[in-house]
Structure formats: structure tokens, C-alpha cells
Structure 1
Amino acid sequence: MSLKTLSIITIIVFLITAGLLGVLFFVSKQPQNDAGIIERGTTLETTQNEDEEEPTEEKPQAREEGVNEFDEKLFDESEAAAPSQNQAERAEVEIFVRAFIEDYASFSSASGYSHIENYYPQMTEAMREFTDGWIKGNPAGLKSDAFYSIETSVANLRIDEFSDPANGMFHNSATVLVETSRVETDVPEYYNRRFKKDVEVKLLKEGEMWKVSGVYFR
């Protein structure tokens, strides 16, 4: 085989190889045809969307006519629940008796009895006369020539009897039971004696004022 023939064969083989490589390169660059898949997917999505119900916006329910959220009656102080007259008078009696007993049952050689005399307007005439005679007897001086004092505080109290208009009676009498704690100091035998004492307080109402008609230590 001549050199010329060999050269021609070599050129032909080279061209064939180059052509095959070109075809392979061209095929590898072509995009895959997914049209069928895309179309099927699109069809499925469309079907699903058709089956789904469109969301409906809930409209607020119309407010019932005739309902007033800001009813003025809710703020009408005249309609507020108020304590009955009976409850108010009982509370008045309790407050008065507590203050009265703590003053009436406390005295000393130093302080005297003027704080008790201040209650004369709130005592019945009979109670005032009794108290005046008791003060003139100087109970502190009778206890000790040097110094004597007694202090009283209310531990508890309750109304035992109270006239009730429902029973055909006016609010004109009451009985209050009082539990007291007392501290007694005596000199020159200096000592503090603590003890408890129950007291019964009787009251009468004269006009618009409650007055003490009797004090009984038990």
C-alpha cells in the first residue's frame, strides 16, 4: 500500500470519527421533552382546583336591635343596692357601743373622768345620774392612795336584742353583749393584772339619738 493511499484512509477515518462526535454532542445538548408530564400535571392541578370550594368570607352577624351595651341604668346610682334601715341602725349601735365602753370602763388617778362625762348627752337621765354619783365617789382613789388605772378594750360584741318594726315595734331599744379585755395597774403594790370581763349594755332611742340606759358588768 502506497503512502498516498494510507493518507486518504486516515483522512476518511478522521472525518467519520469527527462526524460521530459531532452528532453525539448535538444530541446531548437537546432538552428533554416533558410536555406530556407537564400537561398531565397541569390537568390534575386544574381538576383539584375545580373540586375545591372557594372560601367564603364570614360576615359579622347583625347586632340585635334594641340591645344597648351602654345601658345608662347600669350606672344609675339610685338603683344601687343600699343597706336596709334595719342594717344601718344596727351598725350605728355597734359602732357607738364599742367606743362608749372603751371610754366608760377606762379611767385612772391621773386622767380623771372627764372623758366619761363627755358622754352625758348620750346617756338617759337615770344613767347620767348614776354615773355622776359613781364619779363623785372617786373609784380610782378608793382603789389606791398612790396611783390606780384600768384600761379596757373591746374584743368582741354582738347585738342580743334589737326592736324590729317588722314585729310591730319601733327601733327604740337594743341590748348589746360585749366581751372586753382589761388591764389593771395598782401602785404602790405595782402590778398589772390582765383579765376579761363581759358587759351588757342597754340602749334606748330618744328622737334620733341612741342613748345608754344601763351598763352591767358580769
Structure 2
Amino acid sequence: MNKNIVILISGGGSNMAAIVQAAQKGHWRERFGAQVAAVISNKAEAGGLAWAREHHIPTASFDHKAYPSREDFDAALMEEIDRFAPVLVVLAGFMRILTPGFVAHYEGRLINIHPSLLPAFAGLQTHQRAIDAGCRFAGCTVHRVTAELDHGEYLDQAVVPVMPGDTAQTLAARVLTQEHLIYPRVVERLVATA
């Protein structure tokens, strides 16, 4: 059985690329029957789509502004995702809040990575908020997606120090290196047992 993974992105797709590369290096297809079957974006110009095409992964884009409602956009997105019958839908920098109906449709199969040590700093501007709060540590969390933003079972976390003089950008770069390690690790663990 093919264990298809569909990855949703909005930008450069560095976490998507880390997962694709881990799948290749770790021989997921041979070991688990798992593969990244598609990369989908809400932005046609997302850099990650070009990267995916170069690696012979099917891509699609849906401009959320072209749909009259969030529900209509999510319905179109679900129709495309379901063509691949995924065991896992991976949000990798997908900058849209998904409707409860979408989340329910993929319950147990939908995961996200958030650039903070949840439950701290859910939502946006996580790095600046961590610095402003005087945190000595920051990090990232892979979690199951529920209807409540940035909640859901935590699947893995990584911690990085907050350095004196850090900016939101320098802290984000340090956290991103850890995202690229833990996200593929979680995806591999989930497809191994799917």
C-alpha cells in the first residue's frame, strides 16, 4: 500500500524540502511504502513549488483570494488533497487558518510545526514575543492539528537557547535548524506506524 504524504506550504518550503530529503535518504518508500505524493500551496509563486517540481513531485496551487469564503477554499483544497488519499497531511509553513470542517476531515492525519515551545507563544510573532518576555530558551513544536489554533497533541519539541543580542531573525534561523531535524523525524515515525 502506498502511504502518501501531502505537504501544504505558502513560501520557500524549507521544512517540506527537509522532509523530502529525509524520505529519500531514509528510503521511506522501500521501508514503509511512504512517499511525498504532492506539494500544494495557496500561493502560485511559492518558492517551494518550484523546488518540488525540480524533484519530480506533483504540485498544485489554489489562490485563497479567488474563493468567496474560507469554506469554499478549504473545500477545493480538500478535493485536491483527497486525490492522493494521504495517510498524512503536513502543514509546513502553510499560512492559512483552516476551517473546523477541514480539520475534522483529516482528524488524526493532520500535523503542523510551530516555531515556539508550545503551549507558550501560540499564534504569530513567536520569536519576538519570546525575546520580549525575557525567555532564556525558545524552540519548536510538532503537534497534531485541532480546531483550536496551535493546540493538539505534542509529537516532538526541540529547544534552542536565546542568546544575548538575539533578534527575531537570528532566533528564527536557530529555531529553523531544529525544525528541519524534528519535523522529518516525526513524519517518519508516523508513516512507519500508519
| Structure whose alpha-carbon radius of gyration is higher | 1
Same fold? TM cut 0.5: no
Shorter-chain-normalised TM-score: which range? under 0.3
Structure 1 length-normalised TM: 0.20
